[in-house]
Structure 1
């Protein structure tokens, strides 16, 4: 299981026959790196969805552990709340908590637009008006540094009029070898055309952990696939001859086994004529059609609540950054129902509920914690660090690439100051 070849990578790729998906690379023409930016280093930001903080050691991802031992390893990385895929990928790339970026969940309701965002809707995902803040590729492009994305949340959207210079629309038909080749091809471009920021997303562990649970043989296999893919990627990048390429390996969240045999039903106190309901098994949000029903419904829910907590938007625990003062885009529900692990809601009367879930408060459920490893010439060596919030990855990458970000973000510079090498005359980042 530990020694995978490229032949196995081909087998465990993104092949889902029967679906017509756009597999062509998109290129924004007319751009080039400025002479100043051509001298900058490179960052390949890799995300393995659902790669829990302990998976590398638990399943012996020997290549990742070896590479990380040459650089930096975190005990874990703390995701933003809710600990789900879209909000956390965007938190990493924008430096904003979900409540501040406006991407408050994988699926949510917007009162002003009277419209739902859903990660399964290609039209919504590609609509840049849903996303607040400035992703790193937007800032890079604004500062005449080219970027590329082999998938990342919001990379298909035009945000502030900008997409990455090179990008793909998310699909699961392109095999891993082709994806690695595309990265190498980008890095072999002439300096004026070569991206310095590259994002690279891998979904396999999340898929298997949802379907089979985090301790399953299928997750073991998926972790080894990721381990082999990362190893092949870094070996392929070496063939370019570029000396200043840095790798940052992260995940968006962890995963835990839930009580999928005894889910929580829809509470009797919820009147769908009075509220719009949004959410999933880990977070249910109620949006009042008439504000006069909020208090009475909240009181009724509090009385009947078993195995879950009920909050008004005004009394959500502050550490979640998910209450009224943090709701910059007015997208958080008036009433929130949060199950206590390992419980989940069966919100839509599903016949089957997966055994693996994420989304819980990471300060309560350690299994929600994500992975962080980094290696390359910008990083100190043989360094182990304590857990930190994922919004600071934004600060880290912007520090390596020298990308300025004038707007307020939620991360800080403790992470780059701690793990990056500094030249004798460098000031703090």
Structure 2
């Protein structure tokens, strides 16, 4: 009996080993993947009954609230979604950054030369670079980082970023890349919608303008579904729809003016806003510490080495010496000649990712996705391993684990 059990166990291990060594290419091509970002898509926006197409995909697929990485800003989180690494590890530590290895250069959205420079992105490898290395065609529509040559490669097809492109145009332009023979089509496509984020910033998350933007994005999703059906691709495409962060309403009575707090000449300001970074000016270290590291009514400041562990932030060279985080709705206002202030009626993100209003959402739908799955809130580093699994690509080392989203998979 014991010998029989050993024989059966050995046979099982042999079969398991044989299955594990079957190359992915021998299992047939993966289903096409479309990864969609809705910038500023707060998790509870789905409760407004304004997005029937998104609701259909959620009801017939998998969905759940998703926690952004710190800081809950656009560039850091979009790069986390496609690398599985937290900002402190992939190097896009903010929307605005400086690096001593690039003296005199400030990375920010308006600096096209910096945004398209692979230097800023090379601490990680987004899925489209791995895909190209493994022989897969990927097309990206406006995704942050996709215009840069990262580790020597760009996506097979990409579009230079244009702001305020209507969602329907984003879909039609992205799907136009499918108008080639099947062997040449992208196996993965990314789309990016900015309207919901813009409306939230300008008018606040509860404004009718946000509702209008949600309806516009949902109509574009409906068009995408119809287009896939028309092309005979429905049932052959996995859709992964994500946000990068949520949104909260401004509280202008809590805004913090740096000019009222700090004398000029004792600090170097890197970013300001919901999160602000300060580097020392030689000879003024103790003075800056004394002012910033004491308790404040509407923000908390830490030396980079003492940022709370839950944020997984503070080791990268681009993280400033002191990081200040505003309370939700507050804003750390940079000194300016024209006394610029954020819109009092508007909204912001960038705050503590554990705040409910910073949560965003994931919807997964398609032939490889189980229907009816409702997930507990999870960290967005899990999206990358899911993408790599669905595309049958070898993943890079990351902070995410496929086990987090295994419940959404049919197999």
Aligned pair count reads 381
Please tell me whether the aligned partners of residues 44 and 198 of structure 1 are also in contact (alpha carbons under 8 angstroms). Answer: yes
Match of 1:220 in 2: 211
Match of 1:199 in 2: 190
Are 2:91 and 1:102 aligned?
yes
Please tell me whether the aligned partners of residues 56 and 62 of structure 1 are also in contact (alpha carbons under 8 angstroms). Answer: no
Are 2:121 and 1:134 aligned?
no
Shift of 1:397: 0.5
Are 2:199 and 1:208 aligned?
yes
Q: Equivalences for 1:74-223 in 2 at 5 Å? A: 74=64, 76-114=65-103, 115-131=105-121, 132-172=123-163, 175-223=166-214
Shift of 1:178: 4.2
TM-score (norm 2): 0.88
Structure with greater helix percent? 2
Provide closer, same or farther for how the CA distance between residues 142 and 36 of structure 1 changes in structure 2, counting only shifts above 3 A: farther
Are 2:280 and 1:288 aligned?
yes
In the alignment, which of 330, 343, 348 is matched to residue 357 of structure 1? Answer: 348
Deviations, residues 136-176 of structure 1 (Å, cap 9, x unaligned): 10000000000001110001111011111111001147554
Shift of 1:38: 7.2
Structure 2 CA distance for aligned equivalents of residues 37 and 249 of structure 1: 26
Match of 2:320 in 1: 333
Structure 2 CA distance for aligned equivalents of residues 79 and 309 of structure 1: 20
Match of 1:8 in 2: none
- Structure 2, gaps ≥5 residues long: 1-23
- Structure 1, gaps ≥5 residues long: 1-33, 423-429
Match of 2:290 in 1: 299
Please tell me whether the aligned partners of residues 59 and 223 of structure 1 are also in contact (alpha carbons under 8 angstroms). Answer: no
Q: Equivalences for 1:365-384 in 2 at 5 Å? A: 365-384=355-374
Match of 1:230 in 2: 221
Structure 1 CA distance for aligned equivalents of residues 28 and 107 of structure 2: 38
Match of 1:20 in 2: none
Deviations, residues 303-354 of structure 1 (Å, cap 9, x unaligned): 463321120111110111112xx32xx0001111112223222223444412
Match of 1:318 in 2: 309
Please tell me whether the aligned partners of residues 251 and 370 of structure 1 are also in contact (alpha carbons under 8 angstroms). Answer: yes
SS in 2 for 1:238: helix
Structure 2 CA distance for aligned equivalents of residues 332 and 100 of structure 1: 11
Provide closer, same or farther for how the CA distance between residues 259 and 332 of structure 1 changes in structure 2, counting only shifts above 3 A: same
Provide closer, same or farther for how the CA distance between residues 182 and 258 of structure 1 changes in structure 2, counting only shifts above 3 A: closer
Provide closer, same or farther for how the CA distance between residues 301 and 172 of structure 1 changes in structure 2, counting only shifts above 3 A: closer
Structure 2 CA distance for aligned equivalents of residues 93 and 233 of structure 1: 22
Structure 1 CA distance for aligned equivalents of residues 329 and 236 of structure 2: 44
TM-score (norm 1): 0.84
Structure 2 CA distance for aligned equivalents of residues 172 and 220 of structure 1: 19
Structure 2 CA distance for aligned equivalents of residues 36 and 188 of structure 1: 26
Answer with 1 or 2: which has the greater Rg. 2
Match of 2:244 in 1: 252
